[in-house]
Structure 1
Amino acid sequence: MDDRVKALSGGNLDIDLASEGVDWSQTQCPWNVAQKTNDHKCAIKGTSICKYFCGIKFLDSVLCSYPYESKEVVTRSDMDRDLW
């Protein structure tokens, strides 16, 4: 990536794939599809991050590892700091 782009840590995000009434195509959360629910969110501001959430790719693609937990598939070089 261009060196003019900076990674800013500590973002407090709300991210989901369960929005209704949006004007764009949205992939359904595979965990929600498997469980026939709309309860699972990728990230809830100030609360939690889904165990399958692996990040965001520009512009608005959610990187998801369902059914494998992110800690099983994400490598240290994919992260900006140690988590486990």
Structure 2
Amino acid sequence: MPKIADDRRAKIEIWARESRVHAFPVIAELPRFGVKRFTSYAELNAWKRELLLGLARQGGARWIVTVHGASEHANPRLQ
């Protein structure tokens, strides 16, 4: 008898029974930026480096989880 983990139909049945939507954490106060086009990977990497340095200057990122429209911290110690 195959394990449930190996049975595709059993997985789908489990997912259908467990219909709860899990919240996905997002970064609060992430700087907004529009569509970017880069001429090289070096230019892309320089832009990412500046973005990460900016986040570091702010003291890092704060992760939040949105549950039923209300915002909650992903880590209760951060409250």
Pair in the same fold by TM > 0.5: no
> Structure 1-normalised TM-score?
0.20
More helix by share: 2
Q: TM-score, normalised by structure 2?
A: 0.21
